[in-house]
């Protein structure tokens, strides 16, 4: 009888060296070496066949988790992304915002908590341009967040919900309504009330895509399949609008030599992207950092460096692997678990006790305009513009959706949170900013509660309707 020991050792060594492809074929070809002859052959063959079946099942399960590069995808990333999709990111954002606001208003911690974020750290930039911890988060870490947003937008434009003009038309119209109507309501409120100001008119136009998708994920089975790509498209167009506003409206005193340097860095990053990225996007780090520095010194918003760098990343590498999808999968937990909660901690350190008095009276029109713009303007704009587009024959409702579902999407759009905080930091100051943050947070939470209650009232979706095709980019990747 031949002994299988040596053959098993040989098989193990060959497998470790990745010389066997595919594994099941190699196992089959070496079966005669590993299986003894004689009376025990039948039992060994039976065990071997059973082992091959289990191995094949494991290979099938592993193939689902394979990265587009051909390497096994770590389960922890998939698990984290699933949890973020199902509301973990929204819970962390709310928890960070509530904790920071509580610490900023508790007498024992208020001064030290607020003072900590305003402390200058790190090297001076240029002519004494030093950044506080809050500045590094808002100007530095948020650049990484905008890099992630840029990747998402590029994916949707190339092969997602914005790739089909016919499918994208109605949510794009709804997004325009969700930007125009809130700004109009803000303008009306601030013209009607004494002490009003137009400084915060762009704040209620923004939707927090992570927050909205997190709440939606909790009730996904109660909404039609077409609602998810509709909301994703709407929020993506919203983000594009907010990015344009940030780039155009928040420029400081421009310094031509630094803007020239930014253009050179961007051109170099584009050239690298055109050549193709094989395994990693680390090659873009140096030009992206140079772009960030030049924008910061040149008078433009430095966070745009992340968005512009994302546009330089090719969709696929020369060997066909999905570069943008791989980066989105890896950056989503970084943004959802680290950057956005930290951003909320920094920018929700709002001392509400100091918002009383004459300064707060002058701040109320701005805060009221932002709150009403989000809670009323967003749902009315999204629903109303969509209604006009459908009734005029310009577009049609997606399959399975009715006007009730569109109303819920409008409520989900009222959650401004992250982008609204960012716009507040760039447009308002002092007590006006503090009071507006508090009202915006309240409006976003109310929007989340109302949309959750509305979706909770819908019946669970029949799994049989999941076959409905809603176009490219439908559902999850």
Does the pTM surpass 0.75? The reply is no
CA dist 365 to 359, 416, 425, 432, Å?
Answer: 12, 18, 17, 9
pLDDT above 70 (res 231): yes
The residues facing 132 across adjacent strands are 120
pLDDT in tens, 121-158: 877 766 555 678 888 888 888 889 889 888 888 888 88
pLDDT in tens, 329-358: 888 899 888 998 898 888 888 777 655 544
pLDDT at 64: 38
pLDDT exceeding 90 applies to what percent of the chain? Answer: 20
Tokens (6 digits) for 199: 């400084």
pLDDT above 60 (res 60): no
CA dist 389 to 128, 169, 239, 381, Å?
Answer: 53, 9, 22, 12
What mean pLDDT comes out for the span 199-219?
85
All structural domains of the chain, each given as residue ranges with its CATH number in brackets, are 5-57 (no CATH), 75-122+154-254+330-467 (1.20.1530.10)
């Amino acid at each position: 009888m031949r002994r299988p020991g040596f053959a098993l050792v040989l098989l193990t060594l060959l497998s470790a060296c990745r010389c066997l492809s595919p594994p099941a074929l190699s196992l089959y070809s070496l079966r005669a070496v590993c299986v003894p002859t004689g009376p025990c052959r039948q039992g060994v063959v039976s065990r071997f066949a059973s082992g091959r079946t289990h191995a094949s099942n494991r290979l099938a399960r592993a193939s689902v988790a394979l990265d587009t590069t051909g390497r096994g995808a770590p389960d922890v990333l998939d698990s984290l992304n699933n949890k973020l999709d199902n509301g973990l990111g929204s819970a962390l954002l709310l928890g960070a915002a509530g904790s920071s606001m509580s610490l900023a208003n508790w007498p024992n911690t208020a001064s030290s908590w607020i003072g900590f974020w305003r402390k200058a750290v790190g090297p001076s930039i240029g002519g004494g341009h030093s950044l506080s911890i809050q500045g590094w988060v808002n100007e530095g870490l948020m650049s990484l967040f905008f890099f992630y947003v840029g990747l998402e937008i590029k994916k949707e434009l190339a092969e997602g919900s914005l790739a089909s003009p016919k499918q994208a038309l109605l949510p794009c119209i709804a997004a325009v309504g969700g930007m125009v109507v809130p700004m109009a309501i803000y303008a009306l409120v601030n013209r009607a009330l004494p002490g009003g100001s137009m400084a915060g008119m762009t704040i209620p136009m923004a939707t927090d895509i992570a927050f909205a998708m997190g709440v939606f994920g909790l009730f996904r089975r109660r909404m039609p399949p077409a609602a998810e790509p509709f909301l994703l498209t709407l929020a993506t167009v919203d983000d594009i609008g907010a990015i344009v506003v940030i780039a155009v409206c928040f420029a400081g005193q421009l310094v031509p030599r630094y803007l020239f340097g930014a253009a050179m860095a961007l051109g170099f990053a584009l050239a690298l992207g055109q050549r193709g990225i094989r395994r990693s996007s680390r090659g873009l780090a140096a030009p992206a950092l140079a772009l960030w520095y030049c924008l910061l010194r040149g008078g433009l918003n430095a966070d745009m460096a992340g968005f512009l760098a994302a546009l330089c990343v090719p969709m696929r590498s020369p060997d066909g692997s999905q570069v943008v999808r791989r980066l989105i999968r890896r950056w989503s937990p970084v943004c959802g678990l680290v950057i956005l909660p930290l951003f909320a901690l920094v920018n929700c350190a709002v001392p509400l006790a100091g918002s009383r008095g004459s300064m707060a009276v002058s701040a109320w029109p701005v805060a009221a305009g932002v709150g009403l713009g989000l809670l009323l303007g967003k749902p009315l704009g999204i629903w109303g513009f969509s209604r006009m587009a459908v009734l005029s024959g310009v577009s049609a409702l997606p399959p399975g959706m009715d006007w009730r579902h569109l109303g819920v999407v409008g409520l989900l759009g009222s959650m401004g949170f992250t982008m609204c905080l960012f716009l507040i930091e760039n447009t308002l100051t002092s007590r006006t900013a503090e009071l507006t943050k508090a009202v915006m947070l309240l409006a976003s939470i109310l929007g989340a509660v109302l949309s959750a209650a509305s979706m909770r009232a819908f019946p669970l979706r029949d799994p049989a309707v999941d076959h409905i095709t809603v176009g490219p980019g439908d559902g999850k990747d």
